[in-house]
Amino acid sequence: MKLQQLQAFVAAAHHRSLRAAARELGVTQPAVTHAIRELESALNAELMVRSVRGIELTACGLALLPRAEQLLGDMRRTVEAVEQVKGELAGRVSVGTMPSLALTVLPQAVSSFREKMPLVSLHLEEVTVPDALARLRNGTLDLAAIHHVLALDSDLVQVPLYSTQFVVTMRAGHPLANVTRLSELLDAEWIVTVGADHFPHSVMMAMFSAHGLPLPKRLLRAPSSFAVTLGLVSQTDVISCFTRSLAQKVAPLGIRVAQIEDAMPNYDISIISRRDLLPTPAVEQFVACLRQVTRERMGAVQ
């Protein structure tokens, strides 16, 4: 397999179009078609077929795609590592994160990183835990700073970053603002920010179960939409759970922490990466900046 063949295949798979793949790669459409045919010949397998919706991957193509993405990502990182050691501080760092970091420690970490490596391209995005793990594996993310995963597969490794506490949040002036027990909030409407598949492992589930309480009957679902959550918690009677540091950050929006006397769960944040992937100097520097900021502002996990 050749680099150009893998690039053509991945681009066509992403765009579902040979023409769009050619535009991305800056080559002609026949060149893309030829490269993919060479790859199919080398593997002795059909990877793509045409359909009314454009290009469709075969079973072999679906099996190849994440591995091809991983190979291309690893090759890019190899080149960047050599260039960065030579003093050419360019390249790319891709990070998946979540609101608890994005609104607290991440901005200062980015500023610190920018002072040290101003020419490195940063790609930051909010991700769910399942998406983060999949994208670490296919090489499109260098690292993920997300919720600690209890049963992490052996191909990934996580290093604790910090631990914080969850709190119940609601708008200022909420009718239930003075309650002190979770049991008094069972009839309120709560917003759920995780998908149905992951709700059984959510903080909300653990919080009520730990105190022998059933889940509230009224659950408003807005998976992976923090903007929706902020809007509803700050302007309606919907209740949510935030980390304490995040609740403090969004307090100017009119969001308040309920003074619940019941013990609240902790929330552990970790840096997760691929076990077999050596980080580039730029990735190592970003992690160092993130850890330094958390030590200064949050208190790092020892």
- List pLDDT tens digits, range 62-101: 999 988 888 888 888 777 777 766 665 677 899 999 888 8
Choice among 195-204, 261-270, 284-293 with the minimum mean pLDDT? 195-204
pLDDT exceeds 90 at position 52: no
Measure Cα distances from 144 to 96, 122, 135, 197, 233 in Å.
Answer: 4, 13, 9, 21, 27
| Domains observed in the chain | 3-73 (1.10.10.10), 89-302 (3.40.190.290)
- Which of the 8 DSSP states describes residue 239? B
Helix (H, G, I), strand (E, B) or coil at 292: helix
pLDDT exceeds 70 at position 200: no
What does the pLDDT read at residue 89?
Answer: 65
What percent of the chain shows pLDDT beyond 90?
46
Q: Give the predicted TM-score (pTM) of the model.
A: 0.69
- List pLDDT tens digits, range 207-236: 899 899 998 989 998 877 788 999 999 999
